[in-house]
Structure 1
Amino acid sequence: MNPVHVQQIECLLALADELHFGRTAERLGCSQSRVSQLLAALERRLGVRLVDRTSRRVALTRFGAQFVDEVRPAYEALTAVLARAHERARSGALRQLRVGFHGSVYEEITVAFRRLRAEHGVTVALNEIPLGSPFAAVLDGRLDAAVVELPVREPALTVGYRFPPQDRLLALAPSHPLADAAPVDVEALAGLDLLHPTGDAPDYWRTARVPHATPAGAPISSSMGISTVQEGLALVAAGEHAMLVCRPLAERAARGDVRYLPVTGLEESSQLGLVWRTDRAVPALLALAGLLREEFTGPAARPPAPSAVPA
């Protein structure tokens, strides 16, 4: 079955307005023979004559007039959609941002999302991404941005906003021998089996989540991988594994079968970042970064310009 092309519909509508092949060709910027070809192709597709043409006049057939009346609103709606899309592409504006996240979205972040809609007319569609795959969906264009743990050293990505650093806590089952030893010294991690995220994250990112060794050089065991935070907490509660988590997660994931203990001596804290592709830094993303900055540090804070993350 031969498809109907938009150019054929455009030609018929112009001819219905002009009722003259020469003026139609001039209006469309093509030759009269091209107008005849487009009309003939449309008539073959529909199986009916749309235009009567003599040496003196051009007129729509009864069927042609009815078809024009029916198809014109659909064509005008399509051109309006295309025009709006072109304008958004030209200006870099988006009506919706697709944002990925791990685990949970904090209240300050959702406030920024609501303000983005109220102040900029941009909504946010949230998508939970695998714990061990922080960058893939942004890099391949499935998401516009993601709120993920740092560091980010991908040349194609920009950290548009860095959230305030947070303490890292050790999640243990209440029955674990270290559960009452708060705070836990970092060297004690060598005696634990820490959970690690599974996925396609680069090695530097995995190491930041679960170090290979303590500062003194003692190896840290990590025999089990997880794909979600909730999976990790369930394994911790079972008593055989432990997990490093950030303080905000611990405060929002309180449960009776898991204890969260401070760790002294950890070299790095936990820090989230709003990350997007450097070549897709549209105004909506810059606006969201500014709103997050205001929610976490106040409107008086001077915003640093987002920059590409070095490799």
Structure 2
Amino acid sequence: MRQVHVQQIECLLVLAEELHFGRTAERLGYSQSRVSQLIAAIERRVGVRLVDRTSRRVTLTRFGAQFVAEVRPAYESLTTAFAQARDRAQRGALRRLRIGFHGSLYEEITESFRRLRADQDVTIALTEIPLGSPFSGVLDGLLDAAIIELPVREPALTVGFRFPPQDHLLAVAASHPLATRTRVHAEDLATLDVLRPSGDAPTYWLDARVPRTTPSGAPIPSSTHITTVQEGLALVATGDHTMLVCHPLATRTTRTDVHYLPIDGLPEPSQLALIWPTTHTTPQLTTLAHLLHEQFADSRSIRTHK
């Protein structure tokens, strides 16, 4: 049960009502490919096909109809409990934001959290989320927001603030042959074993983290998947793997056994964003987005005048 997300169950229940992937996607605010991913994921977990889909119609299998009938009461009880808890929170009984993040947080971010606490008495509960699952906690209602890397193309999510773009760096072991160089090019990745995130993120997001090919089209080898940044750095330090990271993470995660090299030739820089569910935009979240905007504007101004 730990591996079955509420989002998957919700998607199956709506599909059971609509019997149409397009209408299900529209009703939930997802893409049709996201609906297909969620249904496939729950079928893998249950171990049996729940939905039959042809070019003309969508139907539940016998197992699917039975499963829907059994799981719907539990889902409705769970959503009722969430709704009641959210109502209490909105009435002021609970003033807390649950925010997920990957790896580390800039000082400007934690300063914005401090200001939100001081100005509005809002407590921030932080959770490091799996590297390859940037959206699940927010979409499942387990987190109020998350600070993750772009791109975000999920209709159910709002990008509340875009952080300044940052350069990519390549993390290599201090003993790696590349460690003696001052910088590398994206084409060099074709000769390396580059770590990739493991999780349920859409393909477009995973491919943005680690491209599958170099700009010239050469395949980028990747034999190992990781779930956290620290796990990745530990593997890099062994000398067998390399990892793409953003410049701020490198400056805040110094290790004697890992070197960070500027990398040229990647099409897009790294850029973080604050995201939250579109249907659950709150004054606390919009205030946090405003504070982040102010904080990073001040930081850029300070650096400009130094």
- Mark yes or no: TM-score above 0.5: yes
Cα distance per residue 1:84-130 (max 9 Å; x no partner): 98586369x96110000111122111100010011112111101111
**1:89 is the counterpart of 2:90:** yes
Contact 1:94 1:284 in 2 (8 A): no
Q: Residues 211 and 85 (structure 1 numbering): CA distance in 2 closer, same or farther, change over 3 Å?
A: closer
Q: How does 1:128-277 map to 2 (within 5 A)?
A: 128-277=128-277
Q: 1:18 matched to which residue of 2?
A: none
Q: Residues 266 and 86 (structure 1 numbering): CA distance in 2 closer, same or farther, change over 3 Å?
A: closer
Q: 2:37 matched to which residue of 1?
A: none
Cα distance per residue 1:276-304 (max 9 Å; x no partner): 00000010000000001111113999xxx
Q: 1:126 matched to which residue of 2?
A: 126
Q: 1:309 matched to which residue of 2?
A: none
| TM-fit CA distance, 1:179 | 1.3
| TM-fit CA distance, 1:154 | 0.5
Contact 1:172 1:236 in 2 (8 A): yes
Amino acid at match of 1:276: W
**What is the distance in 2 between the residues matched to 1:299 and 1:87?**
37
Q: 2:57 matched to which residue of 1?
A: none
Identity of aligned residues (%): 64
**Unaligned stretches of 5+ residues in structure 2:** 1-84, 302-306
**What is the distance in 1 between the residues matched to 2:299 and 2:88?**
30
**What is the distance in 1 between the residues matched to 2:87 and 2:140?**
22
Contact 2:132 2:198 in 1 (8 A): yes
Q: Residues 229 and 177 (structure 1 numbering): CA distance in 2 closer, same or farther, change over 3 Å?
A: same
Cα distance per residue 1:136-164 (max 9 Å; x no partner): 00001000000001110011000000000
Q: How does 1:70-85 map to 2 (within 5 A)?
A: none
Amino acid at match of 2:198: T
Cα distance per residue 1:33-81 (max 9 Å; x no partner): xxxxxxxxxxxxxxxxxxxxxxxxxxxxxxxxxxxxxxxxxxxxxxxxx
**Unaligned stretches of 5+ residues in structure 1:** 1-83, 302-311
**SS of aligned partner of 1:116:** helix
Amino acid at match of 2:205: W
| TM-fit CA distance, 1:231 | 0.5
**What is the distance in 1 between the residues matched to 2:186 and 2:235?**
21
Paired positions, count = 218
**What is the distance in 1 between the residues matched to 2:147 and 2:138?**
10
**What is the distance in 2 between the residues matched to 1:300 and 1:126?**
25
**What is the distance in 1 between the residues matched to 2:255 and 2:132?**
23
Amino acid at match of 1:295: Q
**What is the distance in 2 between the residues matched to 1:193 and 1:238?**
12
Contact 1:293 1:299 in 2 (8 A): no
Q: TM-score, normalised by structure 1?
A: 0.67
Amino acid at match of 2:243: M
Contact 2:88 2:94 in 1 (8 A): no
Amino acid at match of 1:205: W
Q: TM-score, normalised by structure 2?
A: 0.68
Q: Residues 168 and 175 (structure 1 numbering): CA distance in 2 closer, same or farther, change over 3 Å?
A: same
Contact 1:172 1:260 in 2 (8 A): yes
Contact 1:173 1:259 in 2 (8 A): yes
Q: 2:109 matched to which residue of 1?
A: 109
